Each structure stands twice: as structure tokens, then as C-alpha cells.
Amino acid sequence: MNNTEMDDFVNRVRERSDIYAVVSRYLQLNFRGGRYWACCPFHEEKTPSFSVAPDKGLFYCFGCHAGGNVFKFISMIENISYFDAVKLQAERLGIEIPSRQKSPKEIREEQERKSLLKLTALAKEFYHNCLTKTAQGEAGRKYLAARGITQGVVDKFTLGFAPDTWDSLTKALKERGFSERQIVSAGLAVENKKGSSVYDRLRGRVIIPIADVFGRVVAFGGRILNSEDENGAKYLNTPETEIFHKGRLLFGLDKANRAISAKNSAVVVEGYMDAISLASAGIENVVATLGTAFTAEHAKLLTQYAKRVVFCYDSDEAGQRATIRALPIIHGAGAEVFVIVVPDGKDPDEFVRRHGKDAFLKLVENATPLLDYKIQYVLAHREHITVSGKIAAVNEILQDLAGIEDTVARGEYAVKISSALLLDEDLVKRQWSKIEHNAAQARKKSSSKNPARTSVQNLPSENQLIRQSGSTIIREAWYESEALAFALERVPKEIFTKLHQEIISYLEKCQAEERRPDDVSAARELSAEAAAELSRILAGVVFQSQENERKAFDDSLKFLRHAYLKALHGRLIKEAEEYFKSGDEAASQEKMLETLRIKKEMDEL
């Protein structure tokens, strides 16, 4: 399928789609003030801030700022990709999905993935039936009951049991037509040393299906029943395959994503039994890593749903080291990070079983901010008695503190560090400034390799009035392309916020290619943040008349022009002062005359 066919297909689905009808499948909408309203499904709220504008084909939440067209809504509510949302809507409308000619290699790979997914789905059913319907599963049922795992959670996670026999699963799958090679490829069986036969990889264990974010089972974990058994590892996972990459997957995210989005908060634990135990206690916004270090892929995946992340790894030394390694990764992804150190060296599973849901939620509420935890960890694990030790400790701590702008917070951290390391507070502050200076120099050196610079300096980036005025300009430009060219003759693009600059570039591209902007191409070509901002702009204001709309445009353009001139005026005054100090009075005088001209225009505005 070429790009033209794809665009035609998407447009056909969009034209047949009524966003009111689609959203109504999930939410109770009420009409008020020219649009429909409901409580947002993507965050917790009591007063409706989620709006739908059927005439524009858009939704926008004024609470969490989620927004977009009908496909964006489906992708968010169903937790699927944008194009998968298009395909899902097409299926609902009975529109045939076109397909392109695939290469033989692509066909083989697709068939292999489908085969593996079918195998894992059948294995899930086999293990679950063994646990819930057979005498062999009695040992597994007793184990789970002893750990407080309810039948509801058993069904929710489709927990199972692997009989303590050599090839029960393998025989069952072979009877369904699968070869030994396929079963081994799925990680469900292992060849014997002679290579003459295969046997089940997981035996005599409680089975935990591991699903991707779409809920498709891609692997399995097995928990041994008797911790004292020396014949096998406590936990055993099936190996990585074509469909399972543990560094890209978080256990339980397919079930926890709605709760995580609603709370804008995720709790990350080390193992799937911790996540299952917390879910059994009624704590739903929990995911687990799978015996691997926390990765950038994990961070990217998680921050799609929440910006507040609470780490609750085991309290032993290994758990603390894993936490320290994970923190800069998730912090670097833009999350607000906290850490729970479970009391008495317990893991989350043991703690919640002993103390209950409310006690654990109290730990979440009182979780230690990342920077405080880093200070505590460094002081507990680094030598800081000698001078060299103190220097190393303070530098390690300050690496994560660099960039804090709040004066009060800086003062408090400086006092904490100086007190803990028995250092002079001014010395800590000087070292802090030195580290930030070095970091700034490194950034400056890096940016010098990229000559692209804005033509206007010192412009406000996120001023609310500039955002409001920019919204008005973009709204007008969406419907009248001439309005954008008119506005950009008066003010440079750099005066707008970063998101608005991205939207304006998209509108300019549409003009250059002589095509109308539309919600489908905007969703495809803009970042998720810019697309949501565009939805807010288009769904945000209903003008009572064209006269009011035109006046809002003129007033906004005047404000932006004034803001631009003000920034330019300040820059020219600085340049005039620099010329004067260097002895170039003529150049200084020229700059001052220019500032007078700009000041006159500002006064007229």
C-alpha cells in the first residue's frame, strides 16, 4: 500500500467517523456551552473538564491537556498505536483495510510472530486450566492462597501451574499441530543434551504469564513452590524470543495503564510477584521489571502514562544498587521520581501481606524525593571521612542536584549536604556553582557544533499571555491561511512558545505543499504534545461573531508585536552599552537611535 492509498484509507475512515458516537461508547457526555462534557477517562477528577467538539471532530481535556481527533482518542482509551486505532475504527465501520505487497522475508517473519503468539496463548490456557481445574494444580492453589492471592487476581493475571512432569505442555501443543522446533523457538521447551527430544522448560511451578502492553502473552515466569528446594532457581523465566524482549517490557502495564494514567503515578517494583501481591491488595498502578536493569526503553514506555514514578525495589543491598542505577534514567525521561525504602528490610510483597493496603499507600504518600534518597545513599555507601572522600561524595551528590533553580530548595540542600559531610556551607555552594558552570560550558560547546540560532534573544518561552495570543493566531491561521503570513510579517516565529512554533511550521509546510491542514496529517506530523496543544486551541473558544474573532486576532497580534519589540529593545540597549565600553561611540549611538525608534512603536501599540 503506497502513501496515497494510505492517506485515502485514513481519510475515508475519518469522514465516516463521528467523534461524539465514538466517545459515547466509553463516556456519558452532557451538552453544555456549545460542546459536550464528561469526566476525563485519562486522569482522576470529580468536575468534568473533558470536552468534545463534534463540529470540529476533536476532544480536549482542560485538566490533563490530552487532546486530538477521533483516532487519538481511540488510541489513548484502548492503549494502542495511532494506526492501530485507525484500523480498529475501520473494522467497526466495516471499511476494508488495504494492504501492500509484502516481501517473502516479511511474510515469513510475520508468520513466525503469529505462530509464537498463538503458542503462548495456548500455553497460557494450558497452565491456567492446570491450576484451576485439575488435581495437579492443588499445590499451586494452596501456594497462592497462602500468599493472599485471591481468585479474582488469579483470573485477572491468568495465573497457572506447570505440572511436575517432563513434557505435559509439549505433548499438548504437539497435539494442536505445533512442531518441537516451534515450541523450542517460543522458549516453552528445551532440547535434551543429545538433541534427540525436548522437555518442558517450566515444571512444578506457579506460572505467571508475561504480556506486552496490548495484553498479548509473550513469555512466562515460573515461581518454585518450595523456597527450600535446591534443585531449581526460585524464579525462572522463558528466554527472550522474537516477541519477548525484557528490556522493553514492564510486567503488568497492560492491566495497570488505566490506573497509572488516572493517578498520573506509577509504582515500580522488582518482580512480578510483588506486582501481583500489591494488585491483590487493591493497589492497581503497579508495574515490575523482569529480572533486568531498568532501561531507557522502560522509562519511555512508563512516562507515556505518568510523570510521577515511585520506585519500590527490595530494601537489600542489591535492591538499593538497582534503584540508584534506575533513578537517573527515569529522571532523565522527565519524570518526577520518588523512592520507597520498605521498613525492616522487607520486600513490597511481604510488607503489604503483613501490614495491608493502607500501610503501603502511606509509604507511597511519604516516599523520599530522588535527591534526598541520593544524598542518603551516598552518605551510607561512600567513604566521607577523609578530605578526598568528602570531595568525591559532594561531587556525586551534586551531579543530580545541578539544575535546581528554586532558591529555597537550593539553600535547604546546601545545608543538608554541609551538615552531613561536616563541610562549610559556602564551600558546598561554590562547588555546586562550579559543577553547573562546567555543565553549562559543556552544553555551550555542544551547541556550538550546531550553528542554528534564533534571531531574537531573551524571549519569554512559556509566558501565559504569549501562549494565549499565539493560540488565537494559530486558530485563525487554521481556517484562513493568509492570516499566518500576515502575522509572521509582523512578528518572528521565535516569539511564540516552542509548541506553537512546531504547529506554525506544520501550517507553513501545508501552505508550501498547497494542501489544507487537517487533524489526520497534524496527528501524524506533529509531536504528541503539539497535537494535543492544537486540539486545545481549536476546541477551546467559541466566538459569538466574526467581528469578535477578528478583534481577538488583532489584539493578540499587537500583544505579540509589543513582546517582540520589548525583547529586541532590551537586546539593543545591551549592545549599545557594549559598543560604548569598547570605545565605538558611533556604533553605540546608532544602536541607541534604533532603540528610540522601537520605543516609539511600542508606545503607539
Is 599 or 58 the better-scoring residue by pLDDT? 58
Predicted pLDDT at 282: 94
Angstrom distance (rounded) from CA 589 to CA 568 = 16
Between the CA of residue 135 and those of 132, 173, 201, 373, 542, what are the distances in Å? 9, 20, 21, 48, 66
Clarify whether residues 318 and 415 are in a common domain: no
Max mean pLDDT range (108-117, 278-287, 517-526): 278-287
Helical segments of 247-369, H only: 253-263, 272-280, 296-302, 317-332, 348-355, 357-365
Q: Which residues pair with 161 in a beta bridge?
A: 206
273 within 8 A of 289, measured Cβ to Cβ: no
**579 against 121, higher pLDDT:** 121
Q: Is there a single domain that holds both residue 564 and residue 493?
A: yes
pLDDT, average across residues 162-191: 95
pLDDT, position 553: 83
Same domain for 155 and 233: yes
In a domain, 392, yes or no: yes
pLDDT at residue 440 is higher than 80: no
CATH number, domain of 215, equals 3.90.980.10
3-state SS of 199-216? EECCCCEEEEEEECCCCC
Sheet strand arrangement including 35-38: 30-32, 35-38, 50-53, 58-61, 67-68
Q: Which residue has the higher pLDDT, 527 or 598?
A: 527
Is the domain of 239 the same as that of 253? no
Same domain, 388 and 303: no
Bigger pLDDT: 187 vs 335: 187
Which of 277 and 460 is assigned the larger pLDDT? 277
- Average pLDDT of 123-142? 96
Q: What is the pLDDT of residue 547?
A: 67
Boundary of a domain, candidates 374, 391, 411: 374
DSSP-based three-state secondary structure for 593: helix
pLDDT, one tens digit per residue, over 544-569 is 456 667 788 888 888 888 888 888 87
Q: What is the H or E stretch that residue 288 is in? A: strand 286-288
- For the record, the C-alpha cell of 545 comes out as 461573531
Tell me the per-residue pLDDT of 52-102, one tens digit each, with 9 for 90 and over: 988 888 898 888 888 889 999 998 888 788 888 998 898 888 888 776 677
Say if 173 falls within a structural domain. yes
- Percent of the chain residues past pLDDT 70, beyond the cut: 91
Higher pLDDT, 98 or 274: 274
Residue ending a domain, among 244, 264, 294, is 244
- pLDDT confidence of residue 541: 56
Are 161 and 238 members of one domain? Answer: yes
pLDDT grade for 462, boundaries at 50, 70 and 90: very low
Inside any domain, residue 196? yes
Asked if 252 and 239 sit in the same domain, the reply is no
* pLDDT given at position 426: 86
* Cβ contact 314:344 at 8 Å: no
Residue of higher predicted confidence among 517 and 591: 517
Would residue 99 count as lying in a domain? Answer: no
Q: Domain of 76: which CATH number?
A: 3.90.580.10
Residue 22 has pLDDT above 70, yes or no: yes
Q: Is residue 455 part of a domain?
A: no
Decide if pLDDT at 601 tops 80: no
Kindly state the cell numbers that stand for 121. 496463548
Is residue 326 a contact partner of residue 293, using CB atoms and an 8 Å limit? Answer: yes
Residues 391 and 354 in one domain: no
pLDDT beyond 70 at 448: no
User: Looking at the whole model, is its pTM more than 0.75?
Assistant: no
pLDDT, tens digit, for every residue of 304-346?
788 899 999 988 888 888 888 888 788 777 788 999 989 876 7
Identify the helix (H) or strand (E) that includes residue 196: none
Residue 100 covered by a domain = no
Measure the CA–CA gap between 268 and 265, rounded to whole angstroms: 10
Task: Please report the pLDDT score of residue 450 as a whole number.
Answer: 46
Cα–Cα separations (whole angstroms), residue 394 to 47, 237, 407, 415, 535: 47, 40, 19, 12, 46
Among 187, 188, 182, 244, CA closest to 211: 244
Residue with more model confidence, 591 or 470: 470
pLDDT score, position 152: 92
- On average, the pLDDT of the chain sits at 85
Co-location of 425 and 515 in the same domain: no
Residue 23, in any domain of the structure? yes
Into how many domains does the chain fold? Answer: 5
- In SS3 terms, 470-535 reads as HHHHHHHHHHCHHHHHHHHHHCCHHHCCHHHHHHHHHHHHHHHCCCCCCHHHHHHHCCHHHHHHHH
* Res 400: pLDDT: 67
Question: Looking at per-residue confidence, does 219 or 539 come out higher?
Answer: 219
**pLDDT confidence bin for 6, thresholds 50/70/90:** confident
557 and 491, same domain (yes or no) = yes
CA–CA separation, 523 and 504 (whole Å): 14
Chain segment 465-492, per-residue pLDDT in tens: 888 888 889 988 888 878 888 889 888 8
- State which residues form the domain around 474: 464-604
Please give the single-letter amino acid code of residue 453: R
Specify the pLDDT at position 355: 93
CATH number at residue 539: 1.10.860.10
For position 457, what pLDDT does the model report? 44
Assess whether pLDDT exceeds 60 at residue 9: yes
| Domain final residue, candidates 58, 93, 128 | 93
Q: Would residue 320 count as lying in a domain?
A: yes
| One domain, residues 280 and 238 | no
Same domain, 220 and 188: yes
